[in-house]
Amino acid sequence: MSYDKFEQTGLAGPHEMSTCLPSEEQRKKGPYAVIECFEEIPCNPCVMSCTFDAILPFEDVNSLPLVDFDKCTGCAVCAGICPGLAIFIVDESKPGDFGTLRLPYEYWPLPEKGQTVMALSREGGDVEPVEVVAISNVKGARTPLVTLRLPKDKLQDIRGFRFLSEEEQAALKDDTEAEKTADIESLESPIVCRCEGVTLAEIRDLIAAGCHTVEEIKHLSRAGMGPCQGRTCRQIIMGELMRAGIGKTEDMPPGSFRPPGGTVTLGQLAEGGDSDA
């Protein structure tokens, strides 16, 4: 579907969105209103409701609303007031990969806080399951606002949600259980290289895949590349190679590592001594 023909599709595209978004700098400061109202209709509750004068004064009742993002606080009053459900409150100011989208929702029942729903694109297509983090009613407004937690790169793409079917909820629960089991299994495999967090299972997988030297395993897993340079993991890896029938540990090259090869006290360093040691 082309986004370039707003007149035909009624969907906001890059051109329309370029007229209603703040600058990168302004986005970092806090929540802001995205007013996706692109048709000159006789309507003005948004501009009347904003006590911060953040929506520029209308020349007449058909004017398009434009936000002064230096004044907008993201209070969401306008979003709850707008009869066209055209206003969304986006917050991407917090560190991390996630932000929030507050959107007007006029159906019943409302979702519950903590519930997982399916996020929808502007076209109404499924995007991904997301969490409802708040439901609120702005004072004096009739339309409830539902807040979704979204990846920041989807904050301008998602504009709705739907409830999950029973089958989807069951599948989601199964996926979550499977992820938890996988996490637990990886935790249950002992850590061999504590510096780089490499597990015994990873070492065994590499040996099974054809790695037959400490050096090969080191390059593929990073085991032995941390601050201790393999002082704890080298012997274990050699033992695993022997266990797999790949020679004896005393005959195996230990792989390369940066000095010192063993523990050195400050006293020994101060005294100097044999550099080979």
The contact set with ligand SF4 (CB under 6 A) reads: 33, 35, 37, 43-46, 49-50, 52, 54-55, 65, 67, 72-78, 82-84, 86-87
The smaller minimum CB distance to ligand SF4, of residues 87 and 132, is found at 87
Amino acid at 244: A
Least distance (Å) between residue 39 CB and ligand SF4: 8
Q: How far is the CB of 97 from ligand SF4 (least distance, A)?
A: 24
Measured from the CB atom, the residue of 50 and 233 that comes closer to ligand SF4 is 50
What are the structure tokens assigned to 276, written together? Answer: 């080979």
Residue appearing with tokens 């007007």: 104
Quote the least distance from Cβ 23 to ligand SF4, whole Å: 15
Which long-range contacts does 256-260 make (Cβ < 8 Å, 24+ apart)?
A: 256/215, 257/224, 257/229, 257/230, 258/229
* Closer of 43 and 117 to ligand SF4 (Cβ): 43
Shortest Å, Cβ 62 to ligand SF4: 9
Would you give the distance in Å from CA 26 to the centre of its chain? 21
User: Are the C-beta atoms of 208 and 245 separated by less than 8 Å?
Assistant: no
Chain mean position to CA 95 = 10
- From the list 186, 184, 190, the residue with the least C-alpha distance to 237 is 190
Query: Minimum Å distance from CB 64 to ligand SF4?
Result: 7
Task: Provide the minimum distance between the beta carbon of 157 and ligand SF4 in the complex, in angstroms, as a whole number.
Answer: 20
Measured from the CB atom, is 141 or 241 closer to ligand SF4? 141
Closest CA to 156 of 19, 6, 10: 19
Q: Which amino acid is at 231?
A: R
Residue with smaller CB distance to ligand SF4, 55 or 206: 55
What is the C-alpha separation between 76 and 71, in angstroms, rounded?
A: 13
Nearer to ligand SF4, 75 or 242 (CB): 75
